[in-house]
Copies of this chain bind each other. A is one copy, B any other.
Amino acid sequence: MAALDAAGEFETIARLLRPLAHPDYARNLADDVAVLPFRAGYDLVLTKDAIVEGVHFLPDDPLETVAQKLLRVNLSDLAAKGAEPFGYLLACHWSPRCGWPEREAFAAGLKADQGSFGIHLLGGDTVATPGPASFSITMLGWVPKGRAVSRAGARPGDLVFVTGTIGDGWLGLQAARGLLTLEPERIAALVAHYRTPMPRVVFAGTVRDLATASVDVSDGLVADLGHVAAASGVGIEIDLERIPVSAAGQAWLDGRVDLEAALEQLCTGGDDYEIALTVRPSDEAALRREADRRHLRVSQIGRVAAGQGVTARLAGRPIEIRKNGWTHD
């Protein structure tokens, strides 16, 4: 199919992507396909997320972190299902802005995260578009046979936990757009969180062993818990004062007049890439122990009840959540 491009498909593949290829399965990116042997006792878990310039990343985000974010949003989906990642297929829709230095930066971002997360490139496609640039990844992982965690297993009485902190993704987007007034190091921390969120890959095994249901927090905490509530046929109650926030998030909250509206914003902003999970009360101690061993914060933010949907309380008082998280279409 026809479109010449200054930086060149073959050159991009040969010089930038081939060094990232899986040594066994990618056929050196020279055969249009990856060929993957069966792994006895495991299921294959696949997820696919796409990102678009101006929609999911900002036009002046460095392509190195764009590549990392692309990998990480997909890794986050696997972690929430208890799967261990091993490789990915990549489609790059390069815009005219993506010259050779930008592609080098993109490949450097991929390379850095391949090392961090133990994954390799399996194949893909690279095409030109008049713009905006966009990218998609199909990420593959393994999970012991029949053990992938679903959204459907939450039961009344279960406790609701979340890893890390909530709201930094949304605050980071505001910071990257120059819309926040905070100390420079707070701004830098939030922008870094927005550009390179940390998927909870190290917690996947614990989620698999202990969660009755789980989801990664990408659309927004309330919306994603809403998915769990709907799939499980239960209600989920959260206490807004228990929502874990970062130091930068707390600094931002301290400057708000309307605490309720501010907390609601953090719970619906999305782009967190934490894991929200439900566990039986008898597993709480094990969950906290496994989190401590990994120096990972986990916070109980609510409980599962009979009913439907997500209800929020602040100091025991019911709060109406007006926004249900972003629709990221």
| Distance in Å: Cβ of A143 to nearest Cβ of chain B | 7
- Whether A55 lies near B270 (C-beta < 8 A) is no
Q: In the assembled complex, which residues on chain B have CB atoms less than 8 Å from the CB atom of A38?
A: 38-44, 145
- Whether A45 sits at the interface, judged by CB under 8 Å, is yes
**CB <8 Å contact, B30 and A231:** yes
0/1 interface trace, chain A 121-145, chain B, CB 8 Å (1 if under): 0111111111010101010100101
Whether A313 is near chain B, meaning CB under 8 Å from some CB there, is no
Q: Indicate the member of A37, A38, A78 with the most B CB atoms within 10 Å.
A: A38
User: Which residues of chain B are near A45, meaning CB under 8 Å?
Assistant: 33-36
Number of copies of this chain in the oligomer? 2
Contact B48 A328 (CB under 8 A): no
Which residues of the partner chain B approach A134 to less than 8 Å between Cβ atoms?
Answer: 93, 127, 129, 134
Q: Does A179 contact B (CB under 8 A)?
A: no
Contacting residues, chain B, for A126 (C-beta < 8 A): 329
A258 within 8 A of B: no
Please state if A35 and B329 are interface contacts (CB–CB under 8 Å).
no
Nearest-neighbor residue (CB-CB) of A53 within chain B: B129
Bound Cα distance from A3 to B327, whole angstroms: 6
Cross-interface CB contact of A10 among B10, B27, B327, cutoff 8 Å = B327
Query: Within 8 Å of chain B (Cβ to Cβ): is A32?
Result: yes
A51-B127, A56-B127 known; A30 and B151 CB under 8 Å?
Answer: yes
Chain B neighbourhood of A36, CB < 8 A: 43-46
Q: How far is B32's CA from A78's CA once the two chains are assembled, in angstroms?
A: 9
A174 to chain B, nearest CB (A): 11
Q: Which 6 A-B pairs have the closest CB atoms?
A: A9-B329, A5-B329, A138-B138, A1-B328, A91-B136, A50-B91
Report which of B46, B52, B122, B326 forms a contact with A33, defined as CB distance below 8 A.
Answer: B46
Chain B residues with CB below 8 A from A78, complex form: 33
Return the chain B residue nearest A128 by Cβ. Answer: B329
A45–B34 Cα distance when bound, in Å, is: 6
